[in-house]
Structure 1
Amino acid sequence: MYSAKNTAAVEKGFAHTGANLVRDVSLPALVLHREALEHNIRWMQAFVSDSGAELAPHGKTSMTPALFRRQLDAGAWGITLASATQTRAAYAHGVHRVLMANQLVGTPNMALIADLLADPAFDFYCMVDHPDNVADLGAYFASRGVRLNVMIEYGVVGGRCGCRSEGEVLALAKAIAAQPALALTGIEGYEGVIHGDHAVTGIREFAASLVRLAVQLQDSGAFAIAKPIITASGSAWYDLIAESFEAQNAGGRFLSVLRPGSYVAHDHGIYKEAQCCVLDRRSDLHEGLRPALEVWAHVQSLPEPGFAVIALGKRDVAYDAGLPVPLLRYKAGVLPATGDDVSACKVTAVMDQHAFMTVASGVELRVGDIISFGTSHPCLTFDKWRIGCLVDEQLHVIETMETCF
């Protein structure tokens, strides 16, 4: 097993099918638990389908083609991505419908997409939010003799990308209509930038505005397809978007598409908290997502009483939304693997390749012990690895999964 800084471990066979995490795998390692992973894929697909929508999970979370294939096989409409290079990587691994939830900017990036669109089986959509980008895309794709599907991005003041008013959206639709190489196929928004004490109200108002704009554009004949796409939803508020789209009958006139991504691995931090809020809002949901992602590492040093240094750092695990969470301690090489609860211990800081951990009273560690850590924000853990270990309930590696960041 290796992270982005260490390719030799896999070349020498330290991570292979049948290996056991506590005996055979070079650590640290990115670990995915099969049972939780499969549960999450089924759970979200069922939730979205029951809401009358389609699912296009955001693939930038994992950039793991083996997970894309599982999500598509479970019924996903397509895969959402963030860039032209991500799109090319996904296409190379058999993904043939991509919603790029971002603007396509720069001639080299346009060229990547134009090359992919030479395949008539490839279905691609990108966002636009400014007349300059519309003009550039129109000129480039006209020169290539290719028609590009675009969607207008609608945003919020102080947020991320997107038109900031309904008037801007309507004006941009006219600019798109003036470009024969562009086809307006829908409208998109991202609610995850709406925060504060009244976030729920704000998100519902935003979703209502998104639907209202879609209706205006459709009534004016702005869309190039009979059933345009309306899409929003990150990994925290997907239930509110689904409810808003369904309540306003978005699925009747439009193809409603939800785009959560982090659900596939879930976490022990920000998305665990968000999921608790979803379950509080939706009493009909009796079970939620399960954390499927961990990073495993050795106790490297015990230099002082009550203090451990773990061979795990910023190059191995996300630290932007909370530090790694100690879960279980395993004895290296001992099978069957039995984990002891070490959740009372606490990581206090991370360096490039070290984590500082206070050792709770009553917890006895030795150098070489293995600790599994939960993470917060799976996107920024996945991108530190080239391969992850999918394991069964006995911690045997049943598949090694390559990423393509």
Structure 2
Amino acid sequence: MTYAQTLHQHLIGRQGSRRDLNTPALLVDLDALERNIAAMADRARQAGLALRPHAKTHKCAAIARRQIEAGALGVCCAKLGEAEALADAGIGGLLITSPVVGASAVARLAALAARSEGLMASVDHPAAVDAIAASGARMTVLVDIDPGLHRTGVADAEAAVALARRIEAAPGLTFGGVQFYCGSQQHIEAFAERRAAIIERTDYLKSVIARLSAAGLAPKIVSGGGTGTHAIDLELGVFTELQVGSYVFMDRQYEECDLTGDGRVPFETSLMLDARVISANHDRLVTVDAGFKAFATEAGAPPILAGAPAGSAYHFMGDEHGCIVPPRGERPPELGEVVTLAAPHCDPTVNLHDAYHVIQGDTLVDIWPLEARGRSA
């Protein structure tokens, strides 16, 4: 049982219990979450594409289970440890999107493949293929293609063909297709600019697929895409499955993007954090109990959703503290009052907490552990 469950289990189901949560408390609005899951599933279904959402966003079996129940093939995991945690919680159809390298990690991968039906991994180097085959693993493997970021992935079509052939020749391994994730394009704010960038990268992907097909290695799976480019990816129809992640929660980064080209925001903010005013000795600001340890900070300060006058701003004030500054002429919240904040960047914010406090309105209805939280290896 997580610390959050121990602390708050007695509040589940009690009307209005959200106000009694110890803070800072990471919250998920259940109704908004389920609407987001259904909306993305419907969009993919109408376009004839599959979903394999990225669990690095939520790291939670309860959410993965809901995505699969809505029609997803399974979920993606950024790291081997995430896949192990979700497999142990009964989640199948896992794809590990980062290379698994090193003797101990490859041994864990082989053991996981033996107990997790449908497990797949991505590779970008011949030595990695050889190591996985030598481990005795029996599994499907995807060739990771570099979209231009030079982070992971083979460098060109020739390398993709050579690696696919090596997989096909390796005992126990099956070449399943390719992975192509354009991470740097996901947060381009203007839709037209993002669309142009993705069309150019997708043309490159199509050239790699053509070379593989000419070599008799046509990929059955073409996996990639993300929340920021999902509408464009669905339109272009090159992927067979999308690795969308942040749509379940949304965050400030994606709220600032025109995701659909018409200014609409197709998904709701379902992830938030309640903080409490713990010091109120100044007219122009108050201090809340959520600081650097409550939010990822690389994307700036969290937006204020509720609990403070419109136009108020949050500023970090250290590991455990932040301040709320209202507009001039407005009074800040009183001591003990709760301020609700959104995540600037949801994935790394989630990784700072051990559980979600699941709410409907002002009532705590469940507490979900983050089984894959902290699984960085």
Secondary structure class of the residue paired with 2:119: strand
Question: Which amino acid letter does the alignment assign opposite residue 176 of structure 1?
Answer: I
- 1:315 corresponds to 2:293: yes
Secondary structure class of the residue paired with 1:47: helix
Secondary structure class of the residue paired with 1:280: coil
Residue 16 of structure 1 aligns with which residue?
Answer: 11
Superposed CA offset, 1:236-285 (max 9, x none): 111222222x2xxx47xxxx010111111112x111122xx12225x8xx
- Residue number among 226, 229, 241 corresponding to 1:234 in the alignment: 226
Farther off after superposition, 185-194 or 37-46: 185-194
Secondary structure class of the residue paired with 2:90: coil
Residue 235 of structure 2 aligns with which residue?
Answer: 243
Q: How does 1:291-330 map to 2 (within 5 A)?
A: 291-329=269-307
Counterpart-to-counterpart distance in 2, 1:349 and 1:367: 18
Counterpart-to-counterpart distance in 1, 2:311 and 2:10: 30
Secondary structure class of the residue paired with 1:263: helix
Counterpart-to-counterpart distance in 1, 2:54 and 2:119: 14
- Residue number among 53, 61, 84 corresponding to 1:65 in the alignment: 61
Residue 372 of structure 1 aligns with which residue?
Answer: 340
Residue 278 of structure 1 aligns with which residue?
Answer: 259
Counterpart-to-counterpart distance in 2, 1:33 and 1:130: 42
Q: Percent identity?
A: 25
Counterpart-to-counterpart distance in 2, 1:13 and 1:287: 33
Secondary structure class of the residue paired with 1:389: strand
Counterpart-to-counterpart distance in 1, 2:152 and 2:39: 30
Counterpart-to-counterpart distance in 2, 1:353 and 1:287: 32
Superposed CA offset, 1:179-203 (max 9, x none): 2232111011111224879543231
Q: Over aligned residue pairs, what C-alpha RMSD do you find? A: 2.3
Shift of 1:300: 1.2
- 1:289 corresponds to 2:267: yes
Counterpart-to-counterpart distance in 1, 2:50 and 2:207: 20
Q: Gaps (5+ residues) in structure 2?
A: none
Q: Is the 8 A contact 1:230 1:257 kept in 2?
A: yes
How many residue pairs align between the two structures?
A: 366
Q: Is the 8 A contact 2:27 2:357 kept in 1?
A: yes
Shift of 1:161: 0.8
Counterpart-to-counterpart distance in 1, 2:79 and 2:105: 8
Change (3 A) 1:170 1:355: same
Counterpart-to-counterpart distance in 2, 1:25 and 1:17: 10
Change (3 A) 1:390 1:125: same
Q: Is the 8 A contact 1:15 1:24 kept in 2?
A: no
Shift of 1:37: 0.8
Change (3 A) 1:22 1:153: closer
Residue 30 of structure 1 aligns with which residue?
Answer: 26
Superposed CA offset, 1:203-261 (max 9, x none): 112223223322432342236xxx710011122111222222x2xxx47xxxx010111
Change (3 A) 1:209 1:346: same
Counterpart-to-counterpart distance in 1, 2:9 and 2:317: 26
- Residue number among 145, 156, 159 corresponding to 1:165 in the alignment: 156
- Residue number among 76, 80, 84 corresponding to 1:84 in the alignment: 80
Shift of 1:21: 4.4
Shift of 1:170: 1.9
Farther off after superposition, 23-32 or 70-79: 23-32
Residue 170 of structure 2 aligns with which residue?
Answer: 179
Farther off after superposition, 202-211 or 294-303: 202-211
Shift of 1:156: 3.0
Secondary structure class of the residue paired with 2:175: strand
Secondary structure class of the residue paired with 2:336: coil
Counterpart-to-counterpart distance in 2, 1:347 and 1:26: 20
Q: Is the 8 A contact 1:265 1:293 kept in 2?
A: yes
Counterpart-to-counterpart distance in 1, 2:194 and 2:7: 50
Residue 119 of structure 2 aligns with which residue?
Answer: 124
Residue 336 of structure 1 aligns with which residue?
Answer: none
Residue 217 of structure 1 aligns with which residue?
Answer: 212
- 1:206 corresponds to 2:197: no
Alignment TM-score, normalising by the size of structure 1: 0.84
Farther off after superposition, 182-191 or 156-165: 156-165
Question: Which amino acid letter does the alignment assign opposite residue 291 of structure 1?
Answer: T
Q: How does 1:111-150 map to 2 (within 5 A)?
A: 111-119=107-115, 122-140=117-135, 144=136, 146-150=137-141
Counterpart-to-counterpart distance in 1, 2:125 and 2:111: 24
Secondary structure class of the residue paired with 1:103: coil
Question: Which amino acid letter does the alignment assign opposite residue 174 of structure 1?
Answer: R
Q: Is the 8 A contact 1:14 1:26 kept in 2?
A: no
Shift of 1:137: 2.0
Shift of 1:67: 0.6
Shift of 1:294: 0.8
- 1:54 corresponds to 2:50: yes
